[in-house]
C-alpha cells in the first residue's frame, strides 16, 4: 500500500472558507471546464464517475484559481479521455499549492508537450492520487514542467506514457518539483533520453518512488542533464540504458535507495564520486555504498497488475530507508519504494455483502431476500478465519449468528463469492434492520465487516408462512478451503516485528519432513526450540513469547533437511 494517503487534499479542502461551494460535474455543469469557470477561490469542483471527452473536458485550464478539482470516487472511475487530441490539464497562470487536482485518470493525450498535464510560467499546483497513462507527446509523455514550474506530485501512477524524444513519463525543465510516493513504470522515450524522467537544469526531490521498466537512451530510468536531484528511499530497477545517466550532475544526492538490474548499468555518465561503490553494511546487514544505497532484487509480490510493486516479506527494501524519514504507517523504519510492507500483523482480509433488488421491504407475514457475500485475501500468506452474519434488530439488539461462524482457510490471493437467500420470520418486529457480515475470529476479533439495511413493515400475529431466520444457498466449502501447497520451503519474517511480548513465526514446507525451528540470541546461544519433529507439507505458524526476555535482537532459524533459513526479530519492551 502507499505510504501516504490523500489526507493532504482533505486538509486543503477543509482549510478553505466555510462559505466555499461544491460544484458538481456533470450534475450542475456539463463539463469540467464549465465547473472551473463557475468556481471562485476556495471552491471544490467535484466530478462524478464516468468518462469525460470533448471540448471542456480536455485542455482544462484553472485560469489561476485556488480551487480543488477532484473525483467523487477515485481515479479508476473518473476518466478524462483526450481522444488523441490535446492534453488533460494546462497550468500557465502562476497557480500554486492552493490549486489542486486529485483522484483523476488522464488517458490518450496527444500533443507536443505534456500529454497528461503541462505546467508552464511558474505554475506549481498539487497533483495527487492521479493515474496518468497511455499518453503520447514529443516531450514529456505524462507530465511536462518548465520555466520554474515546480508542482507537488504525490501518490500518482504515471505509467505507459511515451515521448517521441525526451521524458517518456515526465520532463522537467528549470523545475524543482517534489515527487513523492509515485510509481513511474513502463514509460518510453524511444528516440530520446529519460524513459521515466528527463531532468534539464532541474533539481527535484524524488522520495519513496518506484521507477521500473522504462525505455530510453542514456538513462532509461532518469536522465540528469545539468541537474542535481535529491533522490531518497526510491527503487530504480529493470530500466533500459542505465538506471540514472548523469551529465553535469556531480552534486546530485542519492541516498537509501535500491538500484537493480538496469540494462547497461545502474549508473552511467559522469557518476558522482562514491556512488555505487560498496563500502558499508546497512542496518539490515546488506552491502551498500557510502550513501546507504543497496543493489539487490527488491522482491516484488508479482509481475503484473497494481500489486507488481508491492514488497514481499523477504524484500531487502523493508526497513532499509532513511531512519530519519517519517516512519511507515505501521510504525517501522521507512521502506524503500512507493509501497511499504505492512508489519502490523493485521492481514488484508475483506468481506462484502451486496443485496439483490434493493430496497428490501419485508411484509407482515414474513418474506425473503437474496444477497451475495464475497471474501478476499489480498495477503501473501494463507489465513484461517471465521465468517458469520448477524441481524441488528430495530431495538439495537443483535440476532445471530445466522450464517456460521464458518471456519475457512483462505489461500493467498483468494477471492470468491456466494449467492444466499435469507428468511425473515413473520414474528420479527416492525422497523429498520441492518444485516451484517463479519470476517475474523468469532465473536469479537473482527478484521472487516459490511452491511446493508432492510425494513420489516409490521409484526404478524404468528400465522405468517415464514417462522425462522433460516439462510440457505451456496456454501463456502470447496474452492476456499482446498489444500495450500507451497511452491518452495520458506521461513517468513515474524509478524509483528518489532514485537512486544509475542510474535507469530510462519513457515511453509513444500514437502513433509523433520523440522527444527530455534530462536537464538545475538551471541548465537539457543533461547528456545519452537519446533523439533515431523511436520506435514503446507503452511505452519508458531507463536514465540518473549515475556521473560530482555529487549534486543534475536534470530529464528528454520532447518529442514539441508535447507536452512534465518530471520531476525527485535523485541522492544
- What per-residue confidence (pLDDT) applies to 8? 45
- What per-residue confidence (pLDDT) applies to 483? 47
- What per-residue confidence (pLDDT) applies to 3? 52
CATH (domain of 99): 2.160.20
Q: Work out the angle at residue 233's Cα, subtended by the Cα atoms of residues 259 and 236, and round it to the nearest 5 degrees.
A: 25
Phi, psi of 342 (to 5 degrees): -75, 115
Q: Using an 8 Å Cβ cutoff, are 312 and 302 in contact?
A: no
Taking the C-alpha atoms of residue 23 and residue 29, their distance in angstroms, rounded to an integer, is 8
Q: Is residue 320 part of a domain?
A: no
Contacts of 397 by beta carbon, 8 Å cutoff, 6+ apart: none
Q: Using an 8 Å Cβ cutoff, are 368 and 425 in contact?
A: no
Taking the C-alpha atoms of residue 98 and residue 5, their distance in angstroms, rounded to an integer, is 18
Question: Hunting for cell 518473549 — which residue is that?
Answer: 546
Strands 131-133 and 157-159: parallel
The total domain count for the chain is 3
Tell me, yes or no, whether 405 and 499 share the same domain. Answer: no
Where among 481, 509, 537 does a domain terminate?
A: 481
Q: Is residue 467 part of a domain?
A: yes
Tell me, yes or no, whether 92 and 174 share the same domain. Answer: yes
SS3 label, residue 538: strand
List, as one string, the DSSP characters of 221-261.
SEEEES---EEES-EEES-SS-SEEEES-TT-EEES-EEE-
Q: Is residue 535 part of a domain?
A: yes
pLDDT means per 10 residues, the chain with 573 residues, are 45 48 95 97 94 98 96 92 98 96 97 97 95 97 96 96 97 96 95 96 97 94 97 97 95 97 96 96 95 95 60 90 91 93 81 93 90 86 86 90 86 85 88 94 88 88 65 65 66 83 85 91 91 80 87 91 90 85
Q: Work out the angle at residue 510's Cα, subtended by the Cα atoms of residues 506 and 514, and round it to the nearest 5 degrees.
A: 75
Residue ranges making up the domain that contains 89: 7-309
Q: Using an 8 Å Cβ cutoff, are 35 and 44 in contact?
A: no
- What per-residue confidence (pLDDT) applies to 484? 55
Q: Work out the angle at residue 69's Cα, subtended by the Cα atoms of residues 65 and 75, and round it to the nearest 5 degrees.
A: 155
Tell me, yes or no, whether 30 and 11 share the same domain. Answer: yes
User: Is the omega angle on the peptide bond into residue 498 within 30 degrees of 0, that is, cis?
Assistant: yes
Taking the C-alpha atoms of residue 82 and residue 137, their distance in angstroms, rounded to an integer, is 12
Tell me, yes or no, whether 447 and 505 share the same domain. Answer: no
Q: Is residue 375 part of a domain?
A: yes
Radius of gyration over every alpha carbon of the chain, rounded to an integer in angstroms: 27
- What per-residue confidence (pLDDT) applies to 96? 95
Tell me, yes or no, whether 198 and 147 share the same domain. Answer: yes
- What per-residue confidence (pLDDT) applies to 477? 56
CATH (domain of 376): 2.60.40.3880
Where among 309, 332, 357 does a domain terminate?
A: 309
pTM above 0.85, yes or no: no
CATH (domain of 517): 2.60.40.3080
Tell me, yes or no, whether 27 and 150 share the same domain. Answer: yes
Q: Is residue 328 part of a domain?
A: no
Q: Which helix (H) or strand (E) holds 15?
A: helix 7-15
Pick the closest to residue 371 from 453, 428, 445 (CA basis).
453
Amino acid at each position: 500500500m502507499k505510504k501516504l494517503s490523500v489526507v493532504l487534499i482533505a486538509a486543503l479542502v477543509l482549510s478553505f472558507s466555510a462559505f466555499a461551494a461544491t460544484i458538481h460535474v456533470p450534475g450542475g455543469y456539463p463539463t469540467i471546464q464549465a465547473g472551473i469557470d463557475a468556481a471562485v477561490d476556495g471552491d471544490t469542483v467535484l466530478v462524478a464517475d464516468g468518462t469525460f471527452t470533448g471540448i471542456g473536458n480536455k485542455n482544462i485550464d484553472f485560469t489561476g484559481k485556488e480551487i480543488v478539482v477532484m473525483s467523487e470516487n477515485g481515479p479508476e472511475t473518473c476518466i478524462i479521455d483526450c481522444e488523441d487530441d490535446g492534453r488533460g490539464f494546462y497550468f500557465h497562470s502562476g497557480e500554486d499549492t492552493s490549486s489542486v487536482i486529485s483522484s483523476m485518470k488522464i488517458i490518450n493525450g496527444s500533443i507536443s508537450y505534456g500529454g497528461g498535464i503541462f505546467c508552464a510560467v511558474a505554475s506549481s499546483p498539487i497533483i495527487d492520487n492521479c493515474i496518468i497513462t497511455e499518453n503520447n507527446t514529443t516531450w514529456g509523455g505524462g507530465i511536462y514542467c518548465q520555466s520554474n514550474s515546480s508542482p507537488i506530485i504525490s501518490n500518482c501512477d504515471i505509467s505507459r506514457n511515451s515521448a517521441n524524444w525526451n521524458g517518456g513519463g515526465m520532463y522537467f525543465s528549470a523545475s524543482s518539483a517534489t515527487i513523492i510516493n509515485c510509481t513511474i513504470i513502463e514509460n518510453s522515450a524511444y528516440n530520446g533520453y529519460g524513459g521515466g524522467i528527463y531532468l534539464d537544469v532541474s533539481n527535484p526531490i524524488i522520495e519513496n518512488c518506484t521507477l521500473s521498466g522504462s525505455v530510453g537512451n542514456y538513462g532509461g530510468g532518469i536522465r540528469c542533464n545539468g541537474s542535481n536531484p535529491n533522490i531518497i528511499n526510491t527503487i530504480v530497477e529493470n530500466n533500459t540504458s542505465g538506471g540514472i545517466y548523469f551529465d553535469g550532475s556531480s552534486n546530485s544526492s542519492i541516498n537509501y535507495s535500491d538500484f537493480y538490474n538496469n540494462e547497461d548499468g545502474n549508473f552511467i555518465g559522469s557518476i558522482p564520486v562514491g556512488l555505487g561503490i560498496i563500502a558499508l553494511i546497512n542496518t539490515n546487514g546488506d552491502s551498500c555504498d557510502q550513501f546507504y544505497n543497496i543493489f539487490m532484487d527488491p522482491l516484488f509480490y508479482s509481475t503484473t497488475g497494481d500489486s507488481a510493486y508491492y514488497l514481499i516479506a523477504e524484500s531487502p527494501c523493508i526497513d532499509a530507508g532513511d531512519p530519519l524519514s517519517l516512519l511507515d504507517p505501521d510504525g517501522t523504519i521507512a521502506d524503500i519504494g512507493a509501497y511499504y510492507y505492512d508489519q502490523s500483523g493485521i492481514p488484508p482480509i475483506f468481506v462484502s455483502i451486496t443485496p439483490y433488488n434493493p430496497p428490501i421491504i419485508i411484509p407482515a407475514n414474513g418474506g425473503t431476500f437474496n444477497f451475495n457475500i464475497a471474501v478476499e485475501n489480498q495477503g501473501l500468506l494463507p489465513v484461517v478465519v471465521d465468517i458469520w452474519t448477524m441481524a441488528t434488530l430495530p431495538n439495537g439488539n443483535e440476532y445471530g449468528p445466522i450464517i456460521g461462524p464458518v471456519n475457512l482457510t483462505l489461500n493467498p490471493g483468494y477471492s470468491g463469492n456466494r449467492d444466499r437467500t435469507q428468511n425473515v420470520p413473520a414474528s420479527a418486529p416492525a422497523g429498520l434492520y441492518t444485516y451484517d457480515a463479519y470476517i475474523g475470529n468469532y465473536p469479537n476479533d473482527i478484521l472487516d465487516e459490511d452491511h446493508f439495511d432492510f425494513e420489516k413493515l409490521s409484526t404478524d400475529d404468528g400465522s405468517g408462512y415464514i417462522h425462522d431466520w433460516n439462510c440457505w444457498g451456496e456454501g463456502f466449502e470447496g474452492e476456499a478451503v482446498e489444500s495450500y501447497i507451497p511452491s518452495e520451503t520458506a521461513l517468513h519474517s515474524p509478524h509483528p516485528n518489532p514485537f512486544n511480548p509475542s510474535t507469530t513465526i510462519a513457515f511453509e514446507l513444500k514437502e513433509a519432513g523433520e523440522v527444527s525451528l530455534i530462536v537464538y540470541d545475538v551471541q548465537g546461544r539457543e533461547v528456545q526450540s519452537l519446533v523439533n519433529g515431523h511436520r506435514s507439507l503446507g503452511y505452519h505458524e508458531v507463536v514465540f513469547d518473549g515475556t521473560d526476555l530482555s529487549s534486543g535482537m534475536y534470530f529464528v532459524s528454520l532447518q529442514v533437511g539441508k535447507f536452512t533459513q534465518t530471520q531476525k526479530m527485535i523485541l522492544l519492551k
